[in-house]
Structure formats: C-alpha cells, structure tokens
Amino acid sequence: MTSLQSIILLVVLCLSDLVASADEIKYQGDNITIKCPAPPEGALGVNLYSRREISRRVMYFFLKNKKLTIHLDFEKRVEVKYDKTLTINIMNLKSTDTGAFWCTCNNLFDSCTMGDSGVFLLVRDPPISLASSTSASSKSGGMNDLLIPVTALTVGSVFLLLLLVVGLWLVPKVRKLIRNKEQEVEEEEKRCNNGVYEVMTVPRRM
C-alpha cells in the first residue's frame, strides 16, 4: 500500500468517526436549536461559543437588559428565547457552521461554567435525491408553462382545419341542393305553362 493510499484511508476513517460521533447532523439551510442550562446565581450573561479551526463567540446574551450581541457570521440567523434557561435557534445553517458548540457564562469577576451544554454539529450538503427532485420539479414547472401555449395553438389549428373541411364539403352540397331546387321549380312552371297553352289551343265544339 502506497503512502498516498494510506493517507486517503486515514482521512476516510477520520471522516467516518466524525460522522458517527456527531450529536447533530443537519443539511445546509436547516435550523438547529441549542438549549443552555440555567445560569448560576450571580451570572451576568451567557455566551455561545463555536469551534472548528478556531474558536469564536457566536453570541452573547446580557441577562439584565436582554441585550443580544451576535457574531458577524451569524447575523440575522440567530434567535434567542430566555425563560430561566436560554434557547438559541440558529437558522439557515451553512457548511462553515460545522463544529462544536457550548455555552458558558460570566459573572462580575470571571467566567463560569454551565454544566454539560455542548453539542457537535455536522452540516452536510443536501442529499442528491432532494436536489434532483428540486431540479425535476423546476423542469416540470417549465414544461407545464410551455405546454399551455402549445396546447392552445394545437386546439386552434384543429378548429380552423375543421372549419375548412366543413366549408369545402358543405358549401358545394348546399349550392347543389339550391340549384336542384331551382331546376325543379323551373320544370314545374314549364309544365304548368304548357298545360294552360294546350287548354287554350283546343278548338271549341259547337
């Protein structure tokens, strides 16, 4: 086994261990809810930290005035509810959100711990089936939009063709019927006129 194959195998094993040990597996665009334990008495505020390559403070919630300070990477993606415990909703997850999250607090002089409040989050790409179904639905939507004018054009063409066929077949029939009727009337008039002429030309007997 070459050194390159060994490195690839090691990476695969590490990734499999990472997935297996993840507390939360989410897809990009999903939301996650993290609940921090109740802060100890005398705590001034609660932090939510995240670490992947580097540590960063996701947000800080000042308990006294309920003021929330959010990291630029999580702006407009964090909502907080406080009722003895802190509930943090992180929305529209990104792949860069993958990492460990944990809560801490601070008092007047130092930081304080909040018990076992950590969670490991793994944010993955959407599954292929979901992506393909989305693209298929968009394609079908486009086909439906195209189908409407095509159907209307086809129906209109068929209607015009029917009118043309009816006109070519029916008009000569009507004309022929009218000519036959006129001929019958003319023949009837001729017979009537001939009968009157014969009656008038017969000599009277004395």
- Is residue 176 one of the residues assigned to a domain? no
- Is residue 204 one of the residues assigned to a domain? no
Is residue 105 within 8 Å of residue 39, measured between CB atoms? yes
Question: Rounded to a whole number, what is the largest CA-CA distance in the chain?
Answer: 160
Chain segment 116-157, per-residue pLDDT in tens: 668 999 999 988 765 555 555 555 554 455 567 667 777 777
Of 77, 31, 82, which Cα lies nearest the Cα of 58?
Answer: 77
- Is residue 13 one of the residues assigned to a domain? no
Chain segment 17-66, per-residue pLDDT in tens: 444 446 899 999 999 999 998 888 889 999 999 998 888 999 999 999 99
What's this model's pTM, rounded to 2 decimal places?
A: 0.53
Q: How far apart are CA 121 and CA 103, in angstroms?
A: 14
- Is residue 96 one of the residues assigned to a domain? yes
Query: Six-digit token pair at 82?
Result: 């406080």
**Which residues, at least 6 apart from 18, have a Cβ–Cβ distance to it below 8 Å?**
122
Upper half-sphere CA count for residue 118 (Cβ side, 13 Å):
10
- Is residue 195 one of the residues assigned to a domain? no
- Is residue 191 one of the residues assigned to a domain? no
- Is residue 59 one of the residues assigned to a domain? yes
Domain span including residue 69 = 21-126
Is residue 111 within 8 Å of residue 105, measured between CB atoms? yes
- Is residue 158 one of the residues assigned to a domain? no
In the chain, the number of structural domains is 1
CATH of the domain at 68: 2.60.40.10
